[in-house]
Chain A
Amino acid sequence: MDHLLWLIPAFPLVGFILLALWGKHLSRFRTAIIGAGSVSLSAILTLFIGLNFLHSTPADGHYSQTLWTWFEVAGLIPKITLYLDALSLVFVFVITFIGALIHIYSVAFMAADKDYARFFACMNLFVFSMLLLVLADNLLLLYLGWEGVGLCSYLLIGFWYENPNNGYAARKAFIITRIGDTAMAIGLFVVFYQFGTLVIPDILALAPTTWQEGATVTTVTALLLLAGGLGKSAQLPLQTWLPDAMAGPSPVSALIHAATMVTAGVYLIARMHVIFQLSPIAQMIVAGIGAATLLIAGFSALTQYDIKRVLAYSTISQIGYMFLALGLGAWTAAIFHFMIHAFFKALLFLAAGAVIEALDHEHNMFKMGGLKNKLPVIFWTFLIGSASLAALPIISAGFYSKDQILWYAWASEHGNATLWLIALLGAFLTAAYTARMLLLTFWGDAKTAVSHYPGKFMTIPLAILAFFSLFAGLIELPHNFGHFTLFSDLLHQVLPETILRTGIHGELPFQLLAFLVTFGGVYMAYIFWYKKPQLIEKLKQSPPLTHLYRFWFSGWGFDQIYHVLFVKPVVFIANINKDDVIDKFYQGITILMVRLNRLLSVTQSGSLRWYIIGLVVGAILILSIQLML
């Protein structure tokens, strides 16, 4: 079965090529078949290969397939090799499966768009790049996929390019992620300089023997790779692009900016976990950044009124949880939360997209409301997604994944009370903003009339995702609650087990506390935004709270800070050098030539006699020279 591995990324690539070359001449039906079909084929193939992998796991724990040698230069011989182990299997499964569902949803969602083929071409290219990223066996191929997804993200955020704001958002996303990518490229140079290879398994095998734990070079490399992950995964301090990236179509937000691409950073760190394990400082920074991000994004999510921006901030916050888990050494917990998050966040974005579509492109939650009965399918699926996001105990998948992280924040060897409290506060915020979003959108009075009703193509993917949002958590149950560890057992082939602090016991009180916090968040939202909305109005009267509200609303002022720190100086310098100093020299040459031309063109008077006189003078000069010599 492993020789078919290349087909998984090949299907979307073929789809992309077909749509990019002949997209204009294909009918909408055929475009949809190619666009959604290619990814669906990949998903089915992934299912087969995955089942085969689980059924008879190879002795060395991975399938690998070398297609060809990319190039050879000075000892750097990257090969186009696909590498499938438990970790990449999880990612490939999420990418192809959720990708296929989102493609099917898009068939209906984008039906009225004039650039139907371009949309599916970009989406297919994205799926291909993302698959390349997670299937790459060397860091260079991974980087190719990494840049590929960045490109597709740029193309799709700016999909509706007629609006200049969308183009601005696309450029912002591209440039900010580029900062991280540059750091990551430098990280790759360091890795190659140190190990002489970019093949990931070789690096992971060599690193513990070459590097000492806590050595500077280890920390620097880890931090450079982390910077790449921060840019891609929208973590502090490079998180500002993701809320603006919501300018793209909702399926794009669901696939790229929630389920897959933004978790590339999580994948990278999990993939290179040996290097991070060797550098406790770097790992501490990962945990710290994760914790800070989840809190900051949580507060911001509480103040947004655009439903997609709430989801964007919640994505940042949830990825913060994943980084926290990575930093804690809870590798499997991070990947588990990634998978569950992919399900429910994709579901939420798709449902939100359906709501926005139904209300004629209304993004403002305060203008929604009362949709509970009008859009029942969307309501129920959205409710399930929200429950999973808020980690509603027992019944939702999100509970199982987030509870693990909360527990490890306290109990793992890197865990401590501060991180645990932050994670708990984050859980409270998550519950609060999720409930707020749900209440504002579906309860209360109807403020905007429903103009479209979603069709089957949209509701079926929602239903499937809702199913997974409810039950996907059951493959990994807490220690004191069934202790069923299918998922972590699988991943422990690749990732190390989480080491707990000694003398820690009693998971139950913490879980109960998490219950309480979740319900507390939901209750707070219920009071403020449903039961007694006048309380909010009262709070708005006090100036400090209004300032705080504005501060949170603007995403903690990061955009403004960056504007002052980076944008203004660059624009200032650019203004000084508006007419390029170096260019002056070359312009001078041109001006000189033009002047000489004018000077000499006077001699071209058209008068034959002047030409002859010129000849005579020339003859006199030549003879004079002969006389003098």
Chain B
Amino acid sequence: MMSTPIATEIVILLAGLLFVLGIVGVIIRKNIIFMLLSVEIMLNAAGLAFVAAGSRWAQPDGQVMFIFILAMAAAEVSVGLALILRIYHQHKSLDIDKLKEMKG
């Protein structure tokens, strides 16, 4: 089997870029759905880093971690979307700046 020596550093850089893009998305968007999408991007970036590291040492652990991230993302999305539904029903808005009830 032939191996493909794609530089791991480059893949990790790509993961970093995606992660930062996710952060930017979470910060600049006011709509909760977009924030949730951006969180998905960040999770994907983290998974990419894991898989890259796993392939670098030819170990399955990276992929195992990605599967866990996947499971976590599924749970998070389901709960998050349910919360969005309720927020929309209560506030008739998805504006995150209107949800400041936890002000200390």
Contact = CB atoms under 8 A, between A and B. Distances in A.
Chains A and B touch each other in the complex, with CB atoms below 8 Å apart: yes
A606 B102 contact: yes
A625 interface: no
Interface residues of A, number: 11
A606 B100 contact: yes
A604 B96 contact: no
A616 B23 contact: yes
Contact of B27 (A603, A605, A606, A613): A613
Contact of B96 (A605, A609, A613): A609
A608 interface: yes
Contacts of A608: 35, 96, 99
B37 to A, nearest CB: 15
A608 B104 CA distance: 13
A576 interface: no
B26 interface: yes
Given A613-B27, A616-B23, A606 B104 contact: yes
> For chain B, which range describes its interface: under 10, 10 to 19, 20 to 34, or 35 or more residues?
10 to 19
A601 interface: yes
A224 to B, nearest CB: 63
Nearest to B28: A609
Given A606-B99, A608-B96, A609-B96, A601 B26 contact: no
A265 to B, nearest CB: 67
A612 B26 contact: yes
A607 B103 CA distance: 8
Contacts of A605: 100, 103-104
B104 A601 contact: yes
Contacts of B101: 606
Contact of B103 (A606, A609, A613): A606
Contacts, number: 30
Nearest to B96: A608
A24 to B, nearest CB: 51
A606 B102 CA distance: 5
Residue from B23, B96, B104 whose CB has the most chain A CB atoms within 10 Å = B104
B25 to A, nearest CB: 10
Contacts of B23: 612, 616
Interface in A600-629: 601, 603-609, 612-613, 616
A604 B103 contact: yes
Interface string B48-88: 00000000000000000000000000000000000000000
Interface in A317-333: none
B27 A612 contact: yes
B27 A609 contact: yes
Contacts of A601: 104
A616 B104 CA distance: 21
A607 B101 CA distance: 9
Contacts of B102: 604, 606
B97 to A, nearest CB: 7
A52 B97 CA distance: 97
A372 B102 CA distance: 87
Interface string A226-250: 0000000000000000000000000
8 contacts: A604-B102, A605-B104, A606-B101, A606-B102, A606-B103, A607-B96, A608-B35, A609-B27
Interface of B: 23, 26-27, 35, 96-97, 99-104
7 closest Cβ pairs, A-B complex: A604-B104, A606-B100, A606-B103, A606-B102, A601-B104, A608-B96, A612-B26
